[in-house]
Chain A
Amino acid sequence: MKSVILVLIVLGMLVCVVGGIFVGVYNGIVTSGNAVENKWADVQSAYQRRLDLVNQTLPAVIGGAAQELAVFKTLRDQAAGLASAFNGNSGIPTGAEAEELTAKTAAFDQAWINAMSYVADNPEIKSNELFSDFMIQVEGSENRINVARKDYNLLVSEYRNKVMTFPGSTIASIFNFDKDKYPFFKASEAAQDAPTVTFPTLQP
């Protein structure tokens, strides 16, 4: 009789332990998913900072006349388009929305390159002290975008690992966690060719 009770106790413990582990794994997946969504907010704000620089700071820098040029008008339009694509989504865009976002990012990057190519040939704008300050801020915000994107992709990777490896995969299939729920954020190819604008170093 005693051995039966013993076996029952051990079985009960086994159930508790396994159940506990499964709860832990489930929570791990949920936490990981939340971390991804939180980090997406950082990516959004990093891009917003960049777009604000274009919309609010750039006009003062290039001067009233230059603002009306087609190349800068296009840049502002692309910036507006990208801002609406980012902020129009309540969550992380997937599928068609994600593709639209990638396309708009690429269009913005291309418009930026065109604008900077124009500036590279324009000594008046380049020598403006405000412009060099502006470029420092742009560099900073672009770095922030890169870091936020890298962090985001890392978290997506961790989420996928949790959902795809055992025992996460079992939990995931029970509770319908989709491994492709969060897309990786790809850099647009246009951004790779951004021209470097060299301007005279400031003399103290």
Chain B
Amino acid sequence: MKILKICLLTLLLGMLLVIPVKSVFAQSTEPPIPPVLVNGNFVLDQLDWLSPSQEQEINAIVSKLDTDNLAQIAVVTQNDCGEDSQAYRNTFFRTWGIGHKDRNDGLLILVCWYDGNKDLRKVEQETGNGMEGTIPDLLTAKVFQEYFVPVFSSGKDAAQVISDGDAGKALVEMVKAYDGIIRGDTPEALTQTEQQDSLVAILSTTFLGLKCIWWLLILIIILIIILSKTGITGGGGGYYYGGSSSSSSSSDDSSSFGGGSSSGGGSSGSF
């Protein structure tokens, strides 16, 4: 019995040596990405440009696009987007995972205000891989120029534009324009049935270099030996469905976004 215990212990310790060390890349000087929005909220208005009703309007439009499985649009206003706002918007897009995972149909509209500095302030837009056909780079620039730029070049003071709600309105108009464009190309809502055999997914995820199913087999063998040593007979044994490494952190809020990705499409426009 003692020998068995020692052998098992050394075995387990040996396995620990194989834990892969994930390399951590040095943090760049980019500002941190805000935590991802949850529960069907698609607007993060850190500059306070949007009135509650404007925010609601955007959320309603995007929710419909989301449930119709056409797109996911995130609208974010932020003061500092770092030195390279183009690189930042790509990181932002990927961190939030905007867009349905299988369709990559995300669009990020990121207002980078930089305290209103005319040389720096921009609206960065990034499209997901699957969205580049519907909304090519040029189109994002056109939508920006048509609906956003006039608001700030109307002669009014920038602070006035914001407090009058015109800046917020510009964002709403942009979202509406995109809604029209997206729906114009796809007359029928595309519905896709998700065929995920969750048990197969769990069993085939890799854990410490071995597929989960192999770990299960090892554990079963160990248990059979232990059980047979302690005198409990019976071929079935206790099947142990533990050790699943695929469990995502079970939080009460789930991300509004589907995990889509982008490869740099979009445009950045100064105003």
Contact = CB atoms under 8 A, between A and B. Distances in A.
A126 interface: no
A4 to B, nearest CB: 10
B267 A139 contact: yes
B264 A7 contact: no
A194 interface: no
A10 B264 contact: no
B267 A144 contact: no
Question: Interface size class for chain A?
Answer: 35 or more
A143 B4 contact: no
Contacts of B214: 20
Contacts of B210: 20-21, 23-24
Interface residues of B, number: 40
B263 interface: yes
Interface stretch (A11-19, A58-66, A73-81): A11-19
B21 A143 contact: no
Interface stretch (B35-43, B146-154, B194-202): B146-154
A202 B268 CA distance: 15
B216 to A, nearest CB: 12
A187 interface: no
Contacts of A147: 90, 262-264
Contacts of B153: 201, 203
10 contacts: A6-B4, A7-B7, A13-B11, A42-B263, A133-B138, A140-B137, A143-B266, A144-B263, A202-B149, A203-B153
Interface of A: 3, 6-7, 9-10, 13-14, 16-18, 20-21, 23-25, 28, 42, 46, 133, 136-137, 139-141, 143-148, 150-151, 157-158, 161, 165, 167, 201-204
